[in-house]
Structure 1
């Protein structure tokens, strides 16, 4: 991958990246939300990031291909699967990033491996992706017996030509994130990520079912979400590093 980095808000890590993934048919589905509605659900070590005074919560369905460890091999039987993330936006040490409330993976082995090897809240879900007449439908049902309810179904389509977000806009703020944060045994960790700037399209759609967010005891506002679509982007992913004891 050609390392174009001038769109990043902070430099690449010096240490080597660990793996690559290609993210396909990505929908960014976002709602503004009151800061107080999520403050107690995000680790206190993290600052909740806001745009024009509002926090945001997102549901991000996509499907992964080309899941590979650097210079070694594809992950056996798990190099392609759909995933749906529920996330909000945070900062720490002047590095804006993502905080995941949940990650639903459409592959049992991938979800078990991710939950075993990382502190991320992964769940195994049956996720179907269908394409028809220019629209894409994601339908997901959580299969983990001991997890809270988590279902999602929505149909979406792009409605504009591609563009790259302009600096300082909400489009950029919601989509151009280059790390995520997670907690493990009261210690804060960061995972750095790199990819080219997203080639976005405006999108529209309908959500038929969503209990992914409500299972987190978060209520979405009664308004249409802000929708973006991106067809593909290849990402480099670094190992987790502890950033605070």
Structure 2
């Protein structure tokens, strides 16, 4: 059997917005074979917005550039493996949205992520004429490695994702990349991604991280 080669995605200007929430608020969005993982006493829901410079498969560029925003939470599998559960995905390029949504088994949403052409960086998610979410930020300084066993490492450094296939099949995929390096960021966030994933939470203040970017290999999920 020929092994499937992972999708290669080159990300640029990656903005992570993390909201602390009660575990009970997230559990309905996660299948019962996964356990919602907590840090500092909270479950977390994150929006990861990035510019996709290029997408490659079998060494051939197939798409890019584009804007992509995924919403995820943090879970453990049946044997304790740590990973993420992708709750929603939004993109402004159909080819990239389709390729990534097929891996995560999540239907691409109708809202559109954009980067606004302003002096500071502004990542937004718009649903028609309604703005769901906006992160306005400036980043500077030399990017540094994420300290192990830190909250930043818990939220950013995940190399496994869990999803569900047809007939309820439990699937696990891998996400390979060099260690994330984060720089200093000053950010203001308005709105949230919670309405897009039907999680009834409001009012929490997000934690924001920023990375200049890196290259990610996403392997197709397999039954486990």
Instruction: Give the TM-score taking structure 1 as reference length.
Output: 0.80
Matches of 2:104 and 2:187, distance apart in 1: 33
Structure with the largest fraction of strand: 2
Counterpart position of 1:91: 76
Q: 5 Å matches for 1:107-146?
A: 107-115=93-101, 119-133=105-119, 135-142=120-127
Q: 2:157 aligns with which of 146, 162, 176?
A: 176
Matches of 1:234 and 1:115, distance apart in 2: 18
Q: CA deviation at 1:65?
A: 1.6
List per-residue Cα deviations over 1:151-201 (Å, max 9, x = no partner): 332211225542111111101111000011111231111110111111102
Q: CA deviation at 1:116?
A: 5.7
Counterpart position of 1:4: none
Instruction: Give the TM-score taking structure 2 as reference length.
Output: 0.87
Corresponding pairs, count: 219
Gaps of 5+ in 1: 1-14, 144-148
Contact preservation (8 Å) 1:182, 1:190: yes
| 1:164 is aligned to 2:145 | yes
Contact preservation (8 Å) 1:33, 1:221: no
Matches of 2:86 and 2:103, distance apart in 1: 16
Contact preservation (8 Å) 2:88, 2:196: no
Contact preservation (8 Å) 2:162, 2:172: yes
